[in-house]
Homo-oligomer: A and B are copies of this chain.
């Protein structure tokens, strides 16, 4: 026996193995896509034996599910809370833009992962939507999504209707409005490879592009709806 796992207590005291696996899985799934990810790579990145993945999450699919829920559950609630609040439309637009861009900026590959996952495994979103309130660990799994979304749309809708009646804004459905917001904020992260390859935009230039966007989008969106 040349070498056993002699090292023990100093470092590995960190978080539970399960969350280390989840974190590694998140990284690998986002990097490679669900189908392209390898359990081996996840195990290696988590610093554990491959069999442990199956001990904690029975199959690759369940692990992928956990990762998707974990990610989706972090993004949605923050945004929903903001948009359902009593803030004015102007405040909501500006805060949304800043919140969205500032957050995604730190995880620039998340949007592409989520989009791919939505299209290749729509059942994950469906089960998430149908699923109940809170995770057993108290993890960030949003309470059932549809009512929350309807609440957001209702609030936005009433605010937009009021403005339309006022004559201070053009009529627009809350669905279109929300989709516009998301589109304009998420797009840089989606097309980043194009910006890099076709326009030769490097990392720094991309950050500047984001800064400019963060600054101009709120006025852009509000002005687009002026009557």
Q: How far is the CA of A221 from the CA of B149 in the complex (A)?
A: 26
Instruction: Give residues of chain A (196-227) contacting chain B, Cβ–Cβ below 8 Å.
Output: 196-200, 209, 212-213, 216, 220-221, 223-226
Candidates B145, B199, B220; contact of A224 at CB < 8 Å: B220
- Chain B residue at minimal CB-CB distance from A149: B198
Known A-B contacts A172-B216, A226-B226; the reply to A118 vs B112 at CB < 8 A is yes
Contact of A184 with B182 in the complex, beta carbons under 8 Å: no
A125 in the interface (beta carbon within 8 A): yes
Q: How far is the CA of A78 from the CA of B216 in the complex (A)?
A: 29
Within the complex, what minimum Cβ distance (angstroms) separates A146 from chain B? 6
The residues of B that contact A132 with a CB separation of less than 8 Å are none
Q: How far is the CA of A216 from the CA of B177 in the complex (A)?
A: 11
Question: A87-118 vs B: 1/0 string, CB under 8 Å?
Answer: 00000000000000000000001001101101
Ranked nearest first, the 9 interchain pairs of A and B with the lowest CB-CB distance are: A224-B224, A35-B36, A183-B187, A35-B35, A112-B119, A116-B116, A118-B193, A183-B183, A122-B193
